[in-house]
């Protein structure tokens, strides 16, 4: 039985981690909830009790075995040395350590063996990268993926609790013909699409778009993988969607791909166009399976397939994957 702490416990992902620890009956003896000073005094329910939130500080990790990180990069970087010094393993959901050569980047359905070489820190990948990688991994095992062309359709939940609140308020204001100003997003999201997530990074690709290639290489053990990606914020409350065209080393038939996805851990095949069955964000919200469908031949490449993938960004894209990594430990 482990003593587990959640760093950033009061945010959307932190609260979901706590819920999932209870839901999956994680074997812990004590749960410690850590956040900023402004959250001290709040309580969060867990296993029939109200657990008080404590202030995160260098001494807060004493006696902990595992610390689940649900805080932003600066907080993760600030406390990582304290966590490791305390003898705990830091399973971090931020992007602070994802591309560090000494830190495993884990999706348990894909590369669980990488947990073995951690040095006190384990990293949880980007949400869209997790969902995409789970969706394509079974096909990647049939024939290695050489390149991907990806478009992500990312829900308001990707911007945290503030994004969810803002989209809800904007939709209400539009319905009541009331004015509003965007805050969580650069532009109005309701009834709109915003083709920019992250900051400029490389050749006019954003940081969010480059994660699909850079993190994908590490997770899939495919160092030569190339990805061109466009990330779009869409007026959906929860669950990200991804359109992916994958180019393989050898041809894989649609039938082979469907069979592989249907038997892949963490996946559900939803693919019957004649019956209007395909992945949608509403169907994948508040659960952990990645839905895969619309599998068809790429008409521009002999060795290509095109597919559509949906998964819950808060759960499998963040909180659940982090808890699954802790379960591997």
Contact 156, 233 (CB under 8 A): yes
* Catalytic status, residue 240: yes
Count CA within 13 A, CB hemisphere, residue 195.
5
Q: Determine which one of 127, 229, 231, 310 is catalytic.
A: 127
Q: How many residues does the chain have?
A: 329
**Tell me, what DSSP letter sits at residue 117?**
G
Sign of CA dihedral 26, 30, 34, 37: positive
Residues 6+ apart with CB under 8 A from 298: 245, 246, 247, 304, 305, 306
**Tell me, what DSSP letter sits at residue 272?**
B
Backbone phi and psi for residue 288, each to the nearest 5 degrees, phi listed first = -110, -5
**Alpha-carbon gap, residue 9 to 31, rounded angstroms:** 11
Long-range contacts of 111-119 (CB under 8 A, 24+ apart): 111/219, 111/220, 111/221, 112/328, 115/325, 115/328, 115/329, 118/89, 119/84
Sign of CA dihedral 272, 274, 280, 285: negative
In degrees, rounded to 5, the angle at the alpha carbon of residue 265 between the alpha carbons of residues 262 and 266 is 95
* Catalytic status, residue 140: no
Q: Determine which one of 64, 118, 229, 240 is catalytic.
A: 240
CA distance to 16, 132, 149, 208, per residue, from 195 (Å) = 27, 18, 16, 11
Backbone phi and psi for residue 38, each to the nearest 5 degrees, phi listed first = -65, -15
Crossing angle of helices 127-142 and 207-220, in 10° steps, is 40
Catalytic residues: 127, 240
């Amino acid at each position: 039985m482990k003593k587990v702490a959640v760093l950033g416990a009061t945010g959307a992902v932190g609260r979901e981690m706590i819920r999932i620890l209870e839901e999956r009956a994680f074997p812990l003896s004590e749960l410690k909830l850590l956040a900023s000073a402004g959250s001290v005094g709040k309580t969060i329910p867990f296993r029939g009790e109200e657990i008080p939130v404590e202030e995160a500080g260098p001494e807060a990790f004493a006696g902990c075995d595992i610390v689940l990180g649900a805080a932003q990069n600066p907080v993760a970087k600030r406390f990582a040395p304290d966590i490791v010094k305390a003898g705990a393993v830091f399973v971090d959901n931020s992007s602070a350590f994802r591309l560090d050569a000494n830190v495993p980047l884990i999706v348990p359905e894909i590369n669980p063996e990488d947990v073995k070489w951690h040095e006190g820190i384990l990293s949880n990948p980007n949400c869209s990268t997790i969902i995409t990688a789970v969706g394509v991994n079974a096909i990647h095992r049939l024939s290695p993926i050489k390149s991907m062309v990806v478009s992500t359709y990312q829900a308001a939940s990707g911007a945290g609790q503030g994004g969810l609140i803002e989209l809800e308020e904007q939709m209400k204001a539009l319905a009541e013909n009331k004015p509003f100003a965007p805050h969580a997003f650069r532009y109005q999201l309701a009834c709109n699409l915003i083709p920019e997530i992250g900051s400029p990074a490389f050749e006019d690709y954003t940081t969010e778009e480059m994660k699909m290639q850079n993190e994908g290489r590490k997770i899939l053990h495919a160092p030569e993988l190339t990805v061109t990606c466009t990330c779009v914020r869409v007026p959906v409350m929860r669950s990200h969607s991804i359109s992916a065209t994958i180019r393989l080393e050898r041809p894989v038939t649609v039938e082979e791909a469907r069979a592989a996805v249907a038997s892949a851990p963490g996946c559900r095949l939803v693919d019957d166009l004649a019956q209007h069955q395909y992945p949608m964000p509403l169907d994948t919200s508040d659960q952990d399976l990645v839905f895969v469908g619309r599998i068809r031949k790429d008409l521009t490449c002999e060795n290509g397939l095109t597919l559509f993938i949906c998964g819950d960004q808060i759960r499998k894209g963040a909180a659940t994957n982090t808890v699954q990594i802790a379960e591997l430990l």
